[in-house]
Structure 1
Amino acid sequence: MINDFTFGRVAIIGDLLLDCYIHGSVGRISPEAPVPVLLRAHQTAVPGGAANVAMNAATLGCSVTLVGLVGQDESAEALRAVLVGTPGIDIAGIVADPDWTTITKTRVLSGRQQIVRIDDERIELPTEATRSRLIEAARIAIDKADVVVCSDYAKGVLTDDVLAAVIAIASARGVPVIVDPKRKDFSAYRGAFLVTPNRNELAEATGLPLRTDDEIEQAVRVVSAQFGGNVLVTRSEEGMTLFRREGQVTHVHAHKSEVYDVSGAGDTVVATVASVLSAGQDLETAVVIATSAASIVVSKLGTATVSRAELSAALMAEMKESGATVALGRASAIIDEWHHHGARVVFTNGCFDLVHPGHIALIRAAAGHGDKLIVAINSDASVKRLKGASRPLQDEQARATVIGALRDVDLVVVFDEDTPLETIQALRPDVVVKGADYQEHEVVGGDFVKSYGGSVVLVDLISGRSTTSIVQKMQGVPMAQAAV
């Protein structure tokens, strides 16, 4: 579906943030005060706010012009460095003001647990001269845009005059405006095509209860009347509700996913909707695709993006109900995205013909050695060569579906060779995990992974558990003989 889209140009105007992450592990409590002591491992910085919207749209394939405000400080340089390194993003519209502080949010994490967040910001009204520069930068960006996004984090960029000018310029050129709102009164967004509040923002704008679909519908009618456009409400695990200003209501259910971090999920939604609209698709299609994108991004740690390959794979999986199975090329692109956001990727492999407690123990142990787990499964032809003509008992699609349904597994690929060496070389995982019945030098691909700083981990297995022994037991072979 999405692979056939030709994405257009998106102008993104709003508050620019830098999200920093200090990663480490906590093993003790400080003797100085009852607080955890973090052993720092590494630090990353990624664009946040409107800059994260731009990253999401560009990652999907849009050409993006970004307009916002930064100071003349180290955080501004770090933000520019990441944005310049991302294909498809034009940062000529970023205005620098020496009197402005680039807004920075630093999160300290142990594993996936956030310990504390430190904000560096000084919110004040930009000068009239700075606001004029922002309006002029927005005018240039809108001139070549198919869709405009106003990313309002209430950090000072989208003042009344800037916001009104942006919507007026876009309306005069017939370009739809999507607003991710932070105001309590949506009348400031009059003239926008679509506003995308979350449940809390909708509650603040209306003061109404939002427990049921009917209550949501009543509230969106109120805010739609405030600005005269369409409303898309993001409702976390309950999905999304789209209200068309003509009165039609569509409820889109969320896709089940492990939720690790909702940071920036709204950015992903608005970026995906804008991107799909720029490809000439209708709003309903954009919302359905954005729901899938949201389910992907909340399973990632920290502010993140969703790649075209990831989204395409998710949409195909939903249509085919094929678990988490993707082709090798797409898996490689997804892993590149994981690595970009600092994830540690673990790899393990096997036939997994009849899944038994030994398999579960291996997968669970493997998942504990990183942030993302990819499992490679031998194809049917590969299993036959290794195990004989009577195997596998289940075809590769069935085996992949079962493994993909396990909560510890993030991705499944199928390989046709006798060993997973070519798959490991294509995916470049950080860790390869095998059972302790191997020695490290015997692990296929181990030397390759170690050549670029990766590692090989051997984990204990549950003795006496194998598909072969199960088959032999069903055939009446004594267990002592089956174990030989």
Structure 2
Amino acid sequence: MTPLVVVGDALLDVDVEGTAERLCPEAPVPVVDVERRWQRPGGAGLAATLLATRTAPEVVLVTALGDDDAGRRLAELLAHDVQVVRLPMDGETVCKTRLRAAGQSLARVDTGGGRAARAPLPGRAVRALRSAGAILVSDYGRGVAAHPGLRDLLTELAPRVPVVWDPHPRGPAPVPGVRLATPNDSEALAFAGDCSDAADAAHTLRSTWSCTATAVTVGPRGALLAGPGDGPPVTVPVSAPARAAGHGRPDTCGAGDRFASAATAALAGGSELTAAVSSAVDAASRFVAAGGAAALSVDGTPAGEPESAFGLADRVRRQGGRLVATGGCFDLLHPGHVSLLRQARSLGDALVVCLNSDESVRGLKGPARPVVPAEDRARLLLELESVDAVVVFDEPSPEQVLARLRPDVWVKGGDYAEADLPEAGVVRRHGGEVVLVPTVAGYSTTHLLTHHR
């Protein structure tokens, strides 16, 4: 099977989520108590990820990435689903951070001004494009779509390979011969100049850009398709089943990327233009209804970051809930751990795990431990349904972290006696109780290591 190739500017998208229940005393703006940070590929990276996870088994992304923290994190996220062909970048990778509370965006902060360097196109990029079954140009105005060598190659390929071009106001016009251009209505009106409405703009741009068709997206109304010939654009509406899927307050972030990627996949599969645009309209509508780009995010909260666990504790208390905490090394996660965590979570509304750091484990268990580093232990714990947050501590005992968390319940396995828990006094001093739960016989990390060497 020939790959689908996405060409364009990949970004790192971050959502910082929290609660906003008070105003800043210095200015009438909300104060957001941060609870979680979510990360995902953005821009052309999102379009490529959508193609790979929704449609095509083999997707190649040709993009510029900086050698910086955002670029490395973005490359790591992309590697799960797509093959990345890197172009050199001048400057730092763009990171777009949305500050959100109660499902509502309050502000966006953009950092990094990197642009694709005008270096020769790498041979790997040329080979990927020449082997493509279809090409999506996902332009975010950061220089990839303006690369002279890339534009020359796309101009050569457009007559024989379906090329979909998702333009950007700060980017160049599509190359001649593009099969489908996909601006939204506000972009189309800006590109077309003096046009009176989106339909007029769709017709004008098809001619101006010398493309086979232009599909101007018009939100929940679908798209306006100006195809070959001189006829007026036709409306391609959202189908009844896709419309029925919508509910609540939609997050439209990424809807244009979903539309363009779905149209690309349809054209690669041999669909004619109207059918491709119709499937893209429905795909974008269902995508928004399912939560938009945010649904593709992964937890980017650093493992053990105290604010995450303490923010959760504050929220549970404000809502009148019952906070449970437990602690330990959790090295080589086993059924005994899972049983303990499940029992602990059943005792309240949220569970925080206080995790011994690598240094703390070495002090308790010896220089050969831990087997699994703290970052990975935290990641594994957070994958469990019973665990809501993890906080890492360096001391032999979690007394200091418990003084800040102030849990209603502190849970330990029944192999401990309450008198053996130095942290019990801290828990009770803040009004909490200590609960010892039964353990699963025969399971401990030390036992597993001793009997499997």
TM over 0.5: yes
Could you tell me which of 156, 164, 169 is aligned with 1:178?
164
Q: Is the 8 A contact 1:139 1:169 kept in 2?
A: no
In the alignment, structure 1 residue 94 sits paired with structure 2 residue 106:
no
Gaps of 5+ in 1: 1-6, 305-337, 343-368, 370-439, 442-449, 456-484
Alpha-carbon spacing, 1:186–1:67, altered in 2? closer, same or farther (3 Å): closer
Q: Which residue in 1 is equivalent to 2:329?
A: none
The alignment status of 1:242 with 2:234, answered yes or no, reads no
- Report whether the alignment pairs 1:36 with 2:30: yes
Q: Provide the C-alpha distance between the structure 1 equivalents of 2:167 and 2:92, rounded to a whole number of angstroms.
A: 22
The aligned amino acid for 2:91 is W
Q: Deviations over 1:23-45 (max 9, x none)?
A: 11112222343322211111111
Letter in 2 for 1:110: A
Aligned pairs for 1:184-333 (under 5 A) are 188-210=174-196, 215-229=197-211, 230-248=213-231, 249-254=233-238, 255-256=242-243, 257-258=246-247, 259-301=249-291, 303-304=293-294
Equivalent residue letter for 2:101: S
Q: Distance in 2 between matches of 1:8 and 1:25?
A: 46
1:197 is displaced (CA, Å) by: 0.9
What SS does structure 2 have at the residue aligned with 1:28?
A: strand
Distance 1:302 1:103, change over 3 A: farther
Residue number in structure 2 paired with 1:377: none
How far apart are the structure 2 equivalents of 1:185 and 1:22? 28
Q: For 1:178, what is the secondary structure of its paired residue?
A: strand
Which residues in structure 2 correspond to 1:56-455 (within 5 Å)? 56-62=50-56, 63-86=58-81, 89-91=82-84, 93-97=85-89, 99-122=90-113, 126-129=116-119, 132-133=120-121, 136-159=123-146, 161-171=148-158, 174-183=160-169, 188-210=174-196, 215-229=197-211, 230-248=213-231, 249-254=233-238, 255-256=242-243, 257-258=246-247, 259-301=249-291, 303-304=293-294, 338=295, 452-453=385-386
Larger radius of gyration: 2
Q: What do you get for the CA RMSD once the two structures are aligned?
A: 3.0
CA distance in structure 2 between the partners assigned to 1:340 and 1:157 by the alignment: 24
Task: Single out whichever of 254-263 and 266-275 deviates more from structure 2.
Answer: 254-263
Q: Is the 8 A contact 2:146 2:172 kept in 1?
A: no
Question: 1: distance between equivalents of 2:121 and 2:91?
Answer: 14
Q: Deviations over 1:218-266 (max 9, x none)?
A: 3222111112221111011221011112235431113532352221111
Distance in 2, Cα, partners of 1:264 & 1:272: 12
Query: CA 1:61 to 1:111, structure 2 compared with 1: closer, same or farther past 3 Å?
Result: same
SS in 1 for 2:289: coil
Shift in Å, 1:205: 1.4
Does the 8 A contact of 1:186 with 1:205 survive in 2? no
Query: For 1:78 and 1:185, how far apart are their aligned partners in 2?
Result: 25
* C-alpha distance in structure 2 between counterparts of 1:68 and 1:282, whole Å: 28
Instruction: Return the alpha-carbon distance in structure 1 between the equivalents of residues 137 and 174 of structure 2.
Output: 12
The one-letter amino acid paired with 2:10 is L
Mapped partners of 1:43, 1:18: distance in 2 = 12
SS across alignment from 1:453: coil
After superposition, the Cα gap between the structure-2 partners of 1:53 and 1:298, relative to the gap in structure 1 and judged at 3 Å, is: same
Kindly provide the amino acid, as one letter, of the partner of residue 281 in structure 1: S
SS of the residue corresponding to residue 253 of structure 2 reads coil
Query: Is the counterpart of residue 55 in structure 1 residue 45 in structure 2?
Result: no
- Name the CA distance, whole Å, in 2 between partners of 1:339 and 1:199: 26
| Aligned-pair CA distance for 1:114 | 0.8
Is the 1:14–1:151 Cα contact (8 Å) retained in structure 2?
yes
- Work out the percentage of aligned pairs sharing the same amino acid: 27
Runs of 4+ in 1 over 6 A off after TM superposition: none
CA positional deviation for 1:300: 4.6
Q: CA deviation at 1:274?
A: 0.6
Contact 1:8 1:275 in 2 (8 A): no
Q: Once the 2 structures are TM-superposed, how far is the Cα of residue 187 of structure 1 from its aligned partner?
A: 5.3
Give, in whole Å, the separation in 2 of the partners of 1:35 and 1:162: 47
Give distance in 1, aligned partners of 2:95 and 2:287.
21
Q: What's the secondary structure of 1:267's corresponding residue?
A: helix
Per-residue CA distance 1:142-184 (angstroms, 9 max, x = gap): 1221101111111122215145223224237x21211001258
In the comparison of the two structures, how many residue pairs are matched?
A: 302
Gaps of 5+ in 2: 300-318, 320-345, 348-382, 389-453
Query: CA separation in 1, counterparts of 2:100 and 2:118?
Result: 39
> 1:105 and 1:300 mapped to 2: Cα distance?
22
What's the CA shift for 1:12? 0.5
So what's the TM-score if we normalise by structure 2? Answer: 0.61
Residue 199 (structure 1) shift? 0.4
Deviations 1:373-423 (A, max 9, x none): xxxxxxxxxxxxxxxxxxxxxxxxxxxxxxxxxxxxxxxxxxxxxxxxxxx
Name the CA shift for 1:18/1:300 in 2 (closer, same or farther; >3 Å). Answer: farther
Counterpart CA distance in 1 for 2:297 and 2:179 is 33
Matched to 2:209, the amino acid is: F
Counterpart Cα distance in 2 of 1:71 and 1:23: 26
Q: CA 1:187–1:45 in 2, change beyond 3 Å: closer, same or farther?
A: closer
Q: Which amino acid aligns with 1:119?
A: D
Contact map agreement 1:190 1:226 (CA 8 A) in 2: no
- Can you list the C-alpha shifts for 1:60-104, whole angstroms capped at 9, x where unaligned? 231111001011001111111111122xx111x12244x421011
Question: What secondary structure sits across from 1:189 in the alignment?
Answer: coil
2:194 & 2:46 partners in 1: Cα distance? Answer: 30
